[in-house]
Amino acid sequence: MPKVRFANFEDEWEQRKLGEYGNFYYGKSAPKWSVTEDATTPCVRYGELYTKFGAKIDRIYSHTSIPKENLKFSTGYEVLVPRVGEDPLDFAKCSWLTIPDVAIGEMISVYNTKQNPQFMAIYFRAKMRLEFAKRVEGGNVSNLYFSYLEDILLSIPSLGEQISIAAFFSRLDDTIKIQQNKLGQLKNLKKAYLQNMFI
């Protein structure tokens, strides 16, 4: 059991294999060359999981020109797991894609689950780094196939407790964003003063 819990929850966490809590499939297409300013279909590419997103995706940065019939689209409940990367410890940088009808790139493993997807993304990031890293294959450019993840044992709480935990960390993330924005504004203000208060 975790050392810290919300007061209203006392049930044991249930241990099962990851593949029993949900199922995986791969994204499809949306290569780099297809992402242009003129493209109209919103998409998420694997590199963005490393550089643009935290545990929750609520904004889309890219659009692809690939025909829609050649793409796989989100429903708003998927957890995205990078399939390709360099550092094995980075493969746990998973994100819940909250937006429906977004094309999911081919170098992404998509996890569908009836558990709370935000909780699962946070759990992967917090507790699965070493488990994912042990299953990575390759050299400078490594791969993580979802078939290697399905047998991982993990313990999760009731759906109600999942929702409470996810909401707690979501509030923390929102607070961090606000403080980061304030920090950026202060740095810009300092820069302006430095440029204008000296001869």
**What would the pLDDT profile of 39-87 be if each residue is shown by its tens digit?**
999 999 999 999 999 999 999 999 999 999 999 999 999 999 999 999 9
- DSSP label at 132? H
Expressed in angstroms, the distance from the first to the final Cα of the chain is 62
Q: Residue range 131-152: average pLDDT?
A: 94
Note the pTM of the prediction, 2 decimals: 0.90
- DSSP label at 12? P
Report pLDDT for 1. Answer: 75
What are the strands, taking DSSP E only, across the chain? 14-17, 22-26, 41-44, 56-57, 62-64, 78-82, 84-85, 95-97, 103-104, 108-113, 137-138, 142-143, 153-156
Two structure tokens written together for 34: 């297809």
